[in-house]
Each structure stands twice: as structure tokens, then as C-alpha cells.
Amino acid sequence: MRVVKRNFESVKVGSEIPSEQKGPITTKHMVRWAAGSGDFNPIHYDKDFALREGLPSVIMAGPMKAAMLAHFLCRWAGSLGSVRSMDCRYRGMDVPGNTLIIGGKVTEKIANSKGGWVVCEIWTENQNGEVTTTGTARVLLES
């Protein structure tokens, strides 16, 4: 794997962060997430239960999508950066078979003596172009 060394000066406001694709997501992925996170809400792994609750199928746990967004930002920030804060708003449901496109855009830069903060909009969208998660993040990059 290539090591990224992104610095504060190389980032431009308005630039898109190259998107990543995850999936197609399977029920097996969701069950593994449930086991690792301890989130055993049956809407995430029991299709019959989810259908009885009025859902279209089992649905991805929101924190699973947040983890994918955090990983996306860490890969982009590289070895000279760190994700310091992130928030997410879950706007839609993702179900087995969905492919997620994870994206972001630089919206602000705040310089300091060692580099600075990069503020980003982040999102996930499914294969139909429907945005299912939105958020913001602050990434600290060195000079």
C-alpha cells in the first residue's frame, strides 16, 4: 500500500476528495459489524424482524456508515494528518445489495503555526445516487 503524505498547503478549498466505493454490502457484513460493535438490534441482521417492523429489509447500522466515512478520511489525510472530529446525519436506509459511494469536499481551511485544520463535507450515496448519510469533519494536516 502506498503511503500518502498530504500536507495542509496542498489542499484547496472547493476540491473534491476522490470518492471510494464500498460493496455491494451484504447481510454478512452487517452481522460482522453487529458482532464487533455489540449492536445486536435485529433490524440489522434479522430480515423477518425488519420486515415486521415495516422496513424494506435489514438495514445498515448508522455507526457502520460512520466508520466507513472515518476510514475514507483517514486514507485521504495520510500519514501527516488526523481526523479530529466528525458528525453524521443518517438521511436514508442502506440495505443488502447496495453499493456505497463515499465522497467528500473541502469547504474551509484554517491555518495555524504547524499546518492547519481542513473542514470537509462528507457523504455516502447508494448506487441510485441517493444520498443516505451526510456530515462534516475536521482534519488536522501538518505543513
Provide the residue ranges of all domains of the chain, joining segments of one domain with +.
8-142
Best CA proximity match to 119, nearest among 80, 90, 87, 92? 87
Residue 2 has pLDDT above 90, yes or no: no
Cell numbers for 47, please give them.
430480515
Each residue's pLDDT tens digit, 68-93: 999 999 999 998 899 999 999 999 99
Chain-centre distance of CA 90, in angstroms?
11
Per-residue pLDDT at 31: 93
CA dist., res. 66 & res. 60, Å (int): 11
Alpha carbons 21 and 100: distance in angstroms, whole number? 6
pLDDT digit string, tens, across residues 30-48 = 999 999 999 999 999 999 9
Q: Summarize the confidence of residues 122-142 as an average pLDDT.
A: 98
Q: Round the average pLDDT of the chain to a whole number and report it.
A: 96
Domain 8-142 has CATH 3.10.129.10: yes
Grid cell, residue 54, equals 415495516
Task: Please tell me the predicted confidence (pLDDT) of residue 106.
Answer: 99
Q: How far is CA 79 from the centre of its chain?
A: 19
